[in-house]
Amino acid sequence: MRPVNQKAKHVIVISYDAFSEDQWELAKSLPNLSALIQKGACSSHVKSVYPTLTYVVHATMVTGMYPGRHRVFHNNPFQPFVPENMQHWFWYRNQIKAPTIYDDLKAYGMKSAALLWPTTGKSAINYNIPEIRALGKENQAIKVMKSGSPVYCLQMEKRFGKMRQGIRQPFLDDFTTACAVDTIKRKKPNLFLIHLIDLDDAKHESGTKSDEVEQAVHRMDKRIGDLVTAVKEAGIEKDTVFIVIGDHGQLDVRYKIRLNNLLEKHHLLGTVTEENENSAKKTSVGAEKLRVTDNAWKVYVQGAGGAAYLYCRPGENHARELALEVLQAAVHEESLGIERVYTRDEFEKLQIDSDAEAIIEARPGFCFDDSVEMPLIVDLEHLGKRYATHGYLPEKEGYHTNIVLSGECMKEKYTFGPMDMVDLAPTIADILGIEFGPCDGHDRKDLFK
């Protein structure tokens, strides 16, 4: 098939992780993003999807669907009592239960590329280094190559691998940017999905109002400039649209709440015992861990930062009812930071359809940790730690994200109002002139000349 009414031959999507409205004024004052704004349309009122987690949102970005339809509800599939550093993530394309924009390119003879874009492992993307992590005795390099484009992965590693220091920043995003520059010049993909994580890491580690965050924003502007320069040197500037978009915001957190600890106080988790004083493993605050002796869990809370899911083992209806009663009662305990508990009959309005029994939303200043250990409430300020996270309802104040769409076909110096994250995929399809859908989003034709 041939594209119809194609507006540009190339779209470069820069997922600027955690780029939210609180960084907008600084970012748009910097030279490279401001230059894109001058040649395009922009908004600081993009509404994300719930829960506002990276993998959930990135699945929406490429499908134009809410989580209830694409079926990626979390960064991690449900894995009760498995330590976070040993959990599988939604790494693979087949875990998205919906069509993606990059799959539809093939019918038009177009090529795609992706760098560290979530949930693209073992996809049909032509040039792909997926975001994926080795577990246990797995080899990281082999796992990436098996899940991505082997020759391309080897080429990028040979040329730029020395820039990287594991997943440490700013080295990881510098590596990604170098790979992107090379790919633009050598491959000229029609759709390029680039995931840059520096700002997100800075917020998690230092809070949203730190010097580290400001430095990350400056580094990101330099990387945007490198990509723009690469497009010019590749000779495709007039045929390229840049889309710079944030996936979610972050909110500063003082208290981590371990809701599974609360459920265990009511004997709802299952067969769980406290390890004795001689063998107990100490946490960073000197607390003793709880131990699941036979994994016979009844109910379990999967934390999602500013939100959490309550799961119930099939047949444990009594435990389910008690757990819901405990959590609903906890809403009235201000120290536990629960803003609201959404039950299954409310999932549709949240655009979610999961196997969970309830979704728990945190108040600003609180987040949920699913580790089964004491204490119930961790005061991070008391520990001298700065921390921010995401996962909250996208309607939270100051939590919208930003978008810039820049190119010859876009309106210039045009600031527009609200946009939904589900609108991204159909808008990309319109730029490239391909059929896409049906989906939950709408093509933003109002942004074009």
- From residue 114, alpha-carbon distances to 193, 195, 420 in Å are 5, 8, 23
CATH 3.30.1360 fits 252-389, yes or no: yes
% of the chain beyond a pLDDT of 70 = 94
411, 326 Cβ separation under 8 angstroms: no
Identify the residue with better confidence: 366 or 289: 366
Instruction: Tell whether the model's pLDDT for residue 282 goes beyond 50.
Output: no
CATH 3.30.1360 positions along the chain are 252-389
Instruction: Tell whether the model's pLDDT for residue 288 goes beyond 70.
Output: no
Task: Round to whole Å and give the CA distance between 256 and 74.
Answer: 19
- Encoding tokens for residue 42? 């922009």
Task: Round to whole Å and give the CA distance between 427 and 336.
Answer: 41
Instruction: Tell whether the model's pLDDT for residue 445 goes beyond 50.
Output: yes
Spell 83-121 as b/e; 16+ CB within 10 A means b.
eeeeeebbbbbebbebbbbbbbbeebebbbbbbbbbbbb
Decide: helix, strand or coil at residue 149. coil
> What pLDDT score was predicted for residue 371?
86
Instruction: Tell whether the model's pLDDT for residue 270 goes beyond 90.
Output: no
240, 11 Cβ separation under 8 angstroms: yes
CATH 3.40.720.10 fits 10-250+397-447, yes or no: yes
pLDDT tens column, 34-61 = 999 999 999 999 999 999 999 999 999 9
Instruction: Tell whether the model's pLDDT for residue 365 goes beyond 90.
Output: yes
> What pLDDT score was predicted for residue 4?
92
Q: What is the mean pLDDT of residues 273-299?
A: 47
Decide: helix, strand or coil at residue 351. coil
CATH 3.40.720.10 positions along the chain are 10-250+397-447
pLDDT band at 401 (very low <50, low <70, confident <90, very high): very high
> What pLDDT score was predicted for residue 372?
83
> What pLDDT score was predicted for residue 353?
82
Instruction: Tell whether the model's pLDDT for residue 383 goes beyond 80.
Output: yes
Q: What is the mean pLDDT of residues 344-355?
A: 91
Task: Round to whole Å and give the CA distance between 386 and 208.
Answer: 9
> What pLDDT score was predicted for residue 341?
98
Query: Would the CA dihedral through 91, 94, 100, 105 be positive or negative?
Result: positive
User: Hey, how many other C-beta atoms are within 10 angstroms of the C-beta on 264?
Assistant: 21
pLDDT tens column, 200-242 = 999 999 999 999 999 999 999 999 999 999 999 999 999 999 9
304, 312 Cβ separation under 8 angstroms: no
Q: What is the mean pLDDT of residues 340-355?
A: 93
> What pLDDT score was predicted for residue 271?
55
